[in-house]
Chain A
Amino acid sequence: EIVMTQSPATLSVSPGERATLSCRASQSVSSNLAWYQQKPGQAPRLLIYGASTRATGIPARFSGSGSGTEFTLTISSLQSEDFAVYYCQQYNNWPTFGQGTKVEIK
């Protein structure tokens, strides 16, 4: 099983600031990496797939980068609706998720 490790566990950011979330895979997953946003009581929402392709309807302030074992999700200017938990997920093998990064208001 490929283990996905996200950092930090919690990120405190002020509205309008930039947020950078990291995800590391225990072995290479090529570009088979997705990012999701989840708010309390809601289902996950697909943000990014293929490491860097935004899903339909996702604002341009969300961007993804990386390949192999190191990946980054960047939110360029945090809006109030962006405070949530973010998960990375690899689909190179049996899909596995990271443990999540909570983005909270500073």
Chain B
Amino acid sequence: EVQLVESGGGLVQPGGSLRLSCAASGFTFSSYEMNWVRQAPGKGLEWVSYISSSGSTIYYADSVKGRFTISRDNAKNSLYLQMNSLRAEDTAVYYCARDAYHPDYWGQGTLVTVSS
């Protein structure tokens, strides 16, 4: 069974940092492109970042470029999102999602709240 489990969310002050993790199981993680997608409370979905299966190709939404860093460790079946210089508008549930273009599996999400 495919499972994606996010962790690392929490309350952080504006300007602070947080590192999200996504533990993958039930499939060959190293063969799949991965993404982070977020959803602000009561709002729609926003694609945040993409990473290729090898990690050699990475893309970011303009809203997070220069502040967030996506990475992966295929040996540990894990996906990461390092978030720096956090702003109130980054408050959202962050989902990791498998596969490019139209993700077929999503984690349950981890809530990041940026507030003083």
Tell me the A residues contacting B by CB distance below 8 Å: 32, 34, 36, 42-46, 49, 55-56, 87, 89, 91, 94-100
Contact = CB atoms under 8 A, between A and B. Distances in A.
Given A49-B101, A91-B101, A94-B59, A43 B106 contact: yes
Given A44-B45, A87-B44, A89-B45, A95 B104 contact: no
A46 B104 contact: yes
A89 B47 CA distance: 10
B102 interface: yes
Contacts, number: 41
B46 interface: yes
> Chain B interface residue count: which class?
10 to 19
Nearest to A92: B101
B66 to A, nearest CB: 16
